[in-house]
């Protein structure tokens, strides 16, 4: 591997997800919903179902009533 190839390999290396992105990935996997849906929950476009709220509550350690006071 030459110098240029080494540099390209570094550029192309997959970066680990940020903690925020990992949170979305985890919630998506645990709820069975897409990452897009989880992002819509976070932005307030959609409200998660009761089961999803329970899972989110368990994941965060925060009561669902506190996380979703208006729903």
More confident residue, 22 or 10: 22
pTM of the model: 0.79
CA–CA distance, 53 with 63 (Å, rounded to integer): 9
Mean pLDDT check: name the lowest of 16-20, 23-27, 32-36: 16-20
């Amino acid at each position: 591997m030459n110098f240029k190839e080494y540099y390209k390999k570094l550029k192309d290396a997959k970066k680990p997800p940020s903690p925020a992105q990992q949170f979305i990935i985890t919630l998506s996997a645990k709820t069975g919903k897409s990452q897009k849906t989880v992002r819509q929950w976070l932005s307030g476009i959609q409200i998660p179902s009761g089961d999803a709220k329970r899972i989110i509550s368990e994941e965060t350690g925060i009561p669902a009533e506190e996380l979703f006071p208006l729903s």
